[in-house]
Structure 1
Amino acid sequence: METSTDRVLGNRLQLMQPRDGYRAAIDPVLLAAAVPAKSGERVLDLGCGVGTAALCLAGRVAGVAVHGIDLQPALVALAVRNAAANGLADRASFESGDLLGFKDRAFDHVLANPPYLARATASISPNPIKAMANVEGDAKLTDWVACAIAAAKDGGSVTFIHRADRAPELRACMMLGLGSLHLLPLLPRADAAAKRILLQGIKGAPAGFQECAPWPLHEADGTFTAATQAILRDAAALPLRAPA
């Protein structure tokens, strides 16, 4: 597999990833920024790929331990190499496996950037890496959410990034085991409809739902907003709720 090395978080983090097929964009960076992790806590990244979200979080929050699982061994191998290349091997671990069989139940936070497309309605790419990243396989969205909820401790957060048009489905799944849901619409620009959303819930919290003020990603001229630049270049957090 041919690879390239790219940099994120204002060159703080270097990532080796496949040159062809799925390549990490801003979604996993935004996802990592939304996780309210603190030093000493354990975080699980479901469908970790080359480790982008997990390593962004470990790079942003000192003392956080991250673990990732992905179905594709080749991507997991790159995630391990990326952790070492960024001096995070002592706090980042990755394994190849199916989330349908994942049994660890001791995480303070769980994050996921699952395939966005349901298989029944998707046009599947001939590139297997891209196909598995974009289109649901045996694990459907309900399975992703169920695994995330099961892996989180009581009081722990579960955070997903997904397509805006699947927000009602994602919300319904998360309501089955999480409370205090907070949804953040991510707008391409202030005058456009959301294409992505972040949705976060707390295990064991009372039922509830709040939609946060929309977050424009770009200015009218196509440049990132200052707030988005702070996340992508300065490793700022993207809190979905007020600090406890």
Structure 2
Amino acid sequence: MSAAELTRDAFLGGRLHLWQPRAGYRAGVDPVLLAAAVPARPGQSVLELGCGAGAAVLCLNARVPGLSLTGVELQPFYAELARRNAAENEAPLRVVEADLQRLPPELRAQAFDHVIANPPYYERHRSTASEDAGRDVALAGETPLVEWIATASRRLAPRGYLTLIQKADRLPELIAACTARLGSLRVRAIQPRVGRKAELVLMQARKGGRAGFVLEAPLIMHEGARHRVDGESYTPEVLNILRGGQALPWSA
């Protein structure tokens, strides 16, 4: 892909710059929210399943120094973009080009403190294929959601955390997939505005966790009941995440 077919976009108020395809799947707000919700500490290891161009894992790296980072990406073009973005942002990210259901032996031998993921939002049999192949795989891949959870569970170290973002209407599927694999589930709904239904959810689960289910206070994205003026209308909390690179903590 030529330089004219790429854009270099700023994230976290300019602390991070990422190359992305001008057309096709482009990272936006969702991976930034995902990264903000990961309770990682310096010295820990992180695996991102389906890392794309690296937006989520590199946003996490910008907030938490000293992490050991690995990304798995099926599509060669996006894997190469993730490597380029990691190098230009001086991030210690290793990118493995592989299907998450057929990870290479060296990766299957590893366990991670955190696994993060932004699985495709749509089921392949219920969606119309995109004309752009990269966008189609990112938004409606062939791998069932339960396999994302199963792979994450196998790669987590004991007491390790899975953090992911997904469409709200697939929450029952997520919870069912975690049964007998992961515990201590926490869910935070992401609402566009006060009074609107949630469109996305963040979910955290823990390997070996035994705590009860927790429904966190929702994250409200925009101020006001409706969009009234041109320009951004993010709430202060969301602005602190998107521009300031701050964490989105889970309750104690």
TM over 0.5: yes
Give the residue type in structure 2 aligned to 1:51.
Answer: G
| Partner residue in 2 for 1:225 | 235
Q: Aligned-pair distance for 1:150?
A: 0.6
| 2:250 aligned residue | 240
User: One-letter code of the match for 1:210?
Assistant: V
**CA 1:104/1:114 → structure 2, altered by over 3 Å: closer, same or farther?**
farther
- State the TM-score, normalized to the length of structure 2: 0.92
Q: 1:50 aligns with which of 53, 66, 73?
A: 53
CA deviations on 1:105-156 (whole Å, 9 max, x unpaired) are 310000000101111101110110110000021x210100000111000111
Name the CA distance, whole Å, in 1 between partners of 2:70 and 2:187: 25
Shift in Å at residue 214 of structure 1? Answer: 1.0
Corresponding residue number in structure 2 for 1:41: 44
CA contact (8 A) 1:171 1:199 kept: no
* Residue-by-residue CA offset, 1:137-182 (whole Å, 9 max, x unaligned): 1x21010000011100011100110000001111111233111100
Residue 84 of structure 1: which of 83, 87, 94 is its match?
87
Partner of 1:157: 161
**CA distance, structure 2, for counterparts of residue 119 and residue 146 of structure 1:** 19
After the TM superposition, which segments of 4 or more aligned residues of structure 1 sit over 3 Å from their partners?
Answer: none
Q: How many residue pairs align between the two structures?
A: 239
Structure 2 counterparts to residues 77-226 of structure 1, below 5 A: 77-88=80-91, 91-102=92-103, 103-137=108-142, 139-206=143-210, 208-220=212-224, 221=227, 223-226=233-236
Question: Which AA in structure 2 matches 1:41?
Answer: Q
CA RMSD, aligned part only?
A: 1.1
Residue 234 of structure 1: SS of its match in structure 2? coil
Deviation of 1:240 after TM superposition, in Å, equals 2.1
Partner of 1:27: 30
Using the alignment, how far apart are the partners of 1:75 and 1:20 within structure 2?
Answer: 13
**Paired residues of 1:34 and 1:240 also in contact (CA < 8 A):** yes
Q: Report the residue type matching 1:67 in the other structure.
A: T
Q: Name the SS for the 1:10 alignment partner.
A: helix
Give the % identical residues.
Answer: 45
Q: TM-score, normalised by structure 1?
A: 0.95
Q: Work out the CA distance in 2 between the residues paired with 1:27 and 1:77.
A: 21
